[in-house]
Structure 1
Amino acid sequence: MSISAGPTAPPTVLFVVGNGLRALDVIHPVQMRGYLTLEISTSMTAFSVLENYEIDLAIVDLDTCDGLDGPRMATEIAANWPDVPMIVCAGSARTMQKCPIHCDA
């Protein structure tokens, strides 16, 4: 199943946001550039969306607040959907320092 309206539909960006990321500050500029955006606030919903829809990019806030912390959620996404590019961000430097995810160039 795809949420795309057709072959000319814009790329879809999945935002998994918690308390730290100021969602509107990040999502609005992406929308203004023509991307379709989905804002999700729980890890289970994010996993369901990734399983059922074509996602072109996932942006994950490390400050998620639904029981599965952001680093673990980002690790799960990378393991289960390796073809989905991911940006991991946080609302604070302290959160980023705790992140166990390492990127290969």
Structure 2
Amino acid sequence: MASGTDILFDPKLATKQGAILATLRRWYAPAEVLKMITSVNAELLALSGARSPYPGKLEVVEEGALADLLLVEGNPIADIQLIADPAKNFLVIMKDGKIYKNILK
């Protein structure tokens, strides 16, 4: 199961993306939700052949791999509600190897 949405095109809803995704816990375990919104979506997009946005390795943390990483204050597998407030609970945000947020400095 992959997760998709158009809420990113609505500025008001985009800020609530984590809270909306956290509501999936009604039907899925937190680990399943996290996998659906991350690696499963990446695997699905990688199937698009030459148009794939992911030319590198997925699902590994190593040099040369595509790594988007979040360091979360707490355990989102135990408490999926943590993704509802990324400003508070996401301590480090890294996309494509570039750090966009780091409050651990």
Same fold (TM over 0.5): no
TM-score by length of 1: 0.28
Bigger relative contact order, structure 1 or 2 (CA pairs below 8 A, ≥6 apart) = 1
Larger Rg: 2
